[in-house]
Structure 1
Amino acid sequence: MEYSGRCACGAVEIRILGKPLAVRQCWCRHCQQIAAGGPTHNAVFRAADIGIEGPTASHDYVADSGNILTRTHCPACGTPILGGSSARPDMRAVRLGVLDEAHGLRPTIAIWTSEAPPWALLDPALEQYPQQPPAPPAPQS
């Protein structure tokens, strides 16, 4: 499978050669902050399957899970590109909004639902975890 996309200003391009290990909706407070109050929507891929061209900036923080998370974004327009976790250095969570339309990916899991605001509409069809879920299956080389 192949996916591609770009940030809002076009300075950063992403290309992914591989299939997602998971597609998740995250309601943690950090994700709500970067998503203007809602959840982020992320497809987890093998890090080795992802190529990025153009300038990026990143920010590290300690997540509620205790892991060090790295958020990568376009320094010009601020578009979130992907995230990485110290717990899973071989995986990256690509923000669905950066991918070209018609990618066909949709969340199957909602995570950190315990931090969703009271007005959040959680899809009952999604598998739900109040906090950090088990890791997706390890990527195969």
Structure 2
Amino acid sequence: MAAPYSGRCGCGAVTLRIDAEPLASRQCWCRQCQAIAAGGPTNNAIFPAEAVEIAGNRASSSWTAASGNTLTHSFCPACGTQIYAQSSARPTLKTVRLGVIDAPHGLRPLTIIWTDDAPDWAVFDPALERFERQPPPPPAR
């Protein structure tokens, strides 16, 4: 598949349309992502913020990540589905959870990040680039 992408939360109250290809796609093992993903990693695609159009009520929460940046997570207040995250370091980007993009979308993580925070039982695809902590920002297109 290729852009545009569409998606929705678990209950359908929040919908999205993405009019760009991802700048990067990552699997994140930071402790915050493990907390919101029930112990596993989050799987995400990073898009220019202006390419992501979202409709429906959203709630958000923010905290300081291990990187020192403030992360704001947007989610559906009705069903709790995570929609996207934004970092104070890169407000021009939205990190969209792959699970909210309608399948089949063909997107998959190409990089694994924050591997130092992963539990000892985590399994990493050896074909993917890895970063022990915060990776460099995705290249602009």
Q: Alpha-carbon deviation of 1:24?
A: 0.2
CA distance in 2, matches of 1:33, 1:15: 27
Q: 2:11 aligns with which of 6, 9, 12?
A: 9
Aligned to 1:53: 55
Aligned-partner Cα distance in 2 for 1:37–1:122: 15
Deviation per residue, 1:83-128 (Å, 9 max, x gap): 0001001001000000101100011100000000000011111100
Residue aligning to 2:74: 72
> 1:127 — aligned with what?
129
SS in 1 for 2:5: strand
Residue equivalent to 1:114: 116
- TM-score, normalisation: structure 1: 0.97
The AA in structure 2 aligned to 1:109 is T
- Give the aligned residue type for 2:136: P
Structure 1 portions without partners, runs of 5+ = none
Residue identity over aligned pairs, in percent, reads 60
* 2:100 counterpart residue number: 98
Which residue identity lines up with residue 31 of structure 2 in the other structure? R
CA distance in 1, matches of 2:118, 2:124: 9
Task: Name the residue aligned to 2:33.
Answer: 31
Where does the alignment leave 5 or more consecutive residues of structure 2 unmatched? none
Report how far residue 12 of structure 1 moved. Answer: 0.3
- Residue 89 of structure 1 aligns to a residue whose secondary structure is coil
Tell me the alpha carbon deviations over residues 53-89 of structure 1, each in whole angstroms, 9 at most, x when there is no partner: 0000000100000001000000000000000001001
- CA drift at 1:37: 0.6
Partner SS for 1:66: coil
Q: How many residues align?
A: 139
Question: 1:97 is paired with a residue of what secondary structure?
Answer: helix
Shift of 1:22: 0.2
* SS of corresponding position for 1:88: coil
Deviation at 1:46, TM superposition (A): 0.1
Give distance in 2, aligned partners of 1:118 and 1:137: 31
Deviating above 6 A after TM superposition, structure 1's stretches of 4 or more consecutive aligned residues are none
Q: Deviations over 1:5-41 (max 9, x none)?
A: 1000010001100010000000000000111110000
